[in-house]
């Protein structure tokens, strides 16, 4: 790899970092190429060189976020062997993000779904489907081994886990109360752990 290509990759990463920060604060529709260029001290032409249009930038953001999340799930799989430990580690990913003052990028983008370019809508869908698939397999394995208790199917419960965490994260951030997400996680895990069922 040449020096110029390394610098190009580094600039693209800086652009993505800036765009992710702007999405976190304003939403995808709330910032422009000009905002990102100004933050980085670049020209708009420099941004267009790396990302032809804003939709391409948005799709690259989601892809990078999804790759990071996939790496985190792979790390959980490598570190934990029991289903409940995997589920608790998954929930902790959300808690760590909130404690850093951030939100799930794809959760934020999902709120803007109808106004996003089709390519970004598809990328957001793929992110959640990938998470649902991983959770479903973990829940199915836990049920087989008798450590997880489900009321619905593994697929249905996987969506419930995602819905609970995304919704609780949103409320916790709005009210500036991390404890709201922590409480939701505690009750969710208690409801899934065999022998500790609670009605909520």
47 & 13 share domain: yes
22 & 66 share domain: no
Residue 199 lies inside a defined structural domain of this protein: no
pLDDT confidence of residue 24: 86
Q: Which domain holds residue 46?
A: 1-52
Residue 171 lies inside a defined structural domain of this protein: yes
> How many independent structural domains does the chain possess?
2
107 & 144 share domain: yes
pLDDT in tens, 120-179: 999 999 999 999 999 999 999 999 999 999 999 999 999 999 999 999 999 999 999 999
Residue 85 lies inside a defined structural domain of this protein: yes
pLDDT in tens, 22-35: 998 889 999 988 88
pLDDT confidence of residue 196: 53
Which tokens sit at 147? 């450590």
Residue 135 lies inside a defined structural domain of this protein: yes
pLDDT confidence of residue 197: 47
169 & 77 share domain: yes
pLDDT confidence of residue 6: 44
80 & 171 share domain: yes
Cα–Cα distance between 79 and 150 in angstroms, integer?
Answer: 24
pTM over 0.85: yes
pLDDT in tens, 70-103: 999 999 999 999 999 999 999 999 999 999 988 9
46 & 83 share domain: no
pLDDT confidence of residue 167: 96
Residue 66 lies inside a defined structural domain of this protein: yes
CA end-to-end distance (rounded Å), the chain: 55
State which of 33, 52, 71 marks the end of a domain: 52
Is the per-residue pLDDT at 198 higher than 50?
A: no
13 & 44 share domain: yes
Residue 197 lies inside a defined structural domain of this protein: no
């Amino acid at each position: 790899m040449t020096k110029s290509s390394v610098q190009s990759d580094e600039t693209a990463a800086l652009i993505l970092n800036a765009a992710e920060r702007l999405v976190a604060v304003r939403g995808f529709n709330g910032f422009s190429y000009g905002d990102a260029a100004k933050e980085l001290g670049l020209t708009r032409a420099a941004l267009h060189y790396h990302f032809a249009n804003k939709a391409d930038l948005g799709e690259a953001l989601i892809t990078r976020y999804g790759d990071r999340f996939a790496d985190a799930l792979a790390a959980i799989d490598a570190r934990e062997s029991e289903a409940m430990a995997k589920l608790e580690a998954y929930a902790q990913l959300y808690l760590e993000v909130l404690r850093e003052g951030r939100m799930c990028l794809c959760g934020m983008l999902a709120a803007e779904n109808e106004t996003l370019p089709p390519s970004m809508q598809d990328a957001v869908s793929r992110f959640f489907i990938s998470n649902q698939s991983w959770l479903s397999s973990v829940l199915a394995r836990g049920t087989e081994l008798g450590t997880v208790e489900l009321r619905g199917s593994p697929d249905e419960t996987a969506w419930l886990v995602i819905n609970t965490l995304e919704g609780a994260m949103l409320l916790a951030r709005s009210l500036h109360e991390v404890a709201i997400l922590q409480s939701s996680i505690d009750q969710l895990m208690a409801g899934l752990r065999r022998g500790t069922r609670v009605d909520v």
